[in-house]
Amino acid sequence: MRLKHTILIGVLFSGFTLFGQDIHFTQTAQTPLLINPASAGVYDGWERVMINHRNQWLGAGTQFMTTNIAADANFGKTRLNDKAHLGVGVNFYNDIGGDSKFGMQKGALTLSGILPAGNGHIFSAGIQGGFASRKADLSRVTWMSQWNGSGFDQTLYSGEANGASSFTYMDAAAGLFYTYDGGQNTFQRNNDFKFQIGFSGYNLNRPQLKYVTVDADRLYRKWIGHVGVIADLTATNWSIDANAVQVIQGPHMETILGLLFRYRFQDGTKITGNFQDSYFGFGMYYRHRDAIAPTIMLDWKGFRFGVSYDVTISALRNAYNGGSLEFTLAYTNLSHALFKGRR
């Protein structure tokens, strides 16, 4: 069996294929730099930091874990948000899983240009570049040639390359983003409305991937379309937070839909903007033909806590007894900006 095919089968169940797909999170709205480079710096506030952690298939014999750490800030943004300014972001993620400890690490720098057009309309364009590394410990892999009739025997000669294998590559991404924030046009309560839509492309340079004796292959370009709406329910403390993400990467497609109901239990300051409303939210994400994920979220004094649990509904539920647990922790600086422009 070719090494390429064996590794491919081994990592397919970790949520991506070696030559096909990148990592993914269920709470897509909480990983903006992984969805669209143009989203860097486009939010209420001045600076923010985000941590996401996913433990895939808790019932599996081996662990599949992904951690993402990101931060972005506004440079030159005014308090009235009425001038063009820059958004700068950095992110790093680490993904590891399977018997071979297949790992992927990536660090990236994001730069966006943000243009407020008045009356709550904001346009932005962004680019992202970074370096990634992939590694597998092939000495931990079991090959078909090591089947002895009743089980796999790793002492048998496999005829395959052994030891650790790794490679690095550069990656490039770009995106466009539009936001309408109706809450900027009024000081009234219970009538806020925010709409966002964007399109982005990742792996635009189609980086070359190569493991030991495997013929070089190239990572598919990843195209992402996303849309989101946050709307207050009139005369109540409730609002809805709905979003949809469509990912196309080579022959692979992924559709993720999310709907959260949010209850505002503490009012913010709409005039100064130093404090935002505090919310408790609950709802669900749905990954088409793959999983449903009950989710809870808490926004409080600039902090955001989120937890979701993927319940597998695809055929993979027969192979793994556990779901996938995902955590989000984020903080947004709402006042005392480090890089605020004049006015």
- The SS3 call for residue 129 is strand
Q: What are the residue ranges spanned by the domains of the chain?
A: 3-333
More confident call, 17 vs 313: 313
The span from the CA of 94 to the CA of 318, in Å, is: 27
Name the DSSP letter for residue 61. Answer: S
pLDDT digits (tens, 9 = 90+) for 276-327: 789 999 999 999 999 999 999 999 988 999 999 999 898 776 666 678 999 9
| DSSP label at residue 255 | E
Q: What are 273's strand-pairing partners?
A: none
Question: What gap in Å lies between CA 244 and CA 302, rounded to an integer?
Answer: 24
205-237 burial code (b ≥16 CB/10 A, e <16): eebebebbebeebebbebebebebbbebeeeeb
- What confidence tens digit (pLDDT) does each residue in 19-71 have? 445 678 999 999 999 999 999 999 988 899 999 999 987 766 667 899 999 99
pLDDT at residue 314 in the model = 84
Higher local confidence (pLDDT), 181 or 268: 181
Cα separation, 103 vs 98, in Å, equals 9
Structure tokens at 118: 């008045």
Tell me which CATH homologous superfamily contains domain 3-333: Autotransporter beta-domain (2.40.128.130)
Instruction: Find, among 47, 205, 39, 195, the residue nearest to 125 by Cα.
Output: 39
Per-residue pLDDT at 5 exceeds 50: no
Contact predicate 52/27, CB 8 Å: yes
Q: Around 182, how many Cα atoms within 13 Å sit in the side-chain half-sphere?
A: 13
Res 12: pLDDT: 37
Measure Cα distances from 200 to 33, 197, 247, 268, 307 in Å. 10, 10, 10, 33, 26
Q: How confident is the model at residue 15 (pLDDT cuts 50, 70, 90)?
A: very low
Q: What is the pLDDT of residues 235-284, one digit of tens each?
A: 899 999 999 999 999 999 999 999 999 999 988 766 555 667 899 999 99
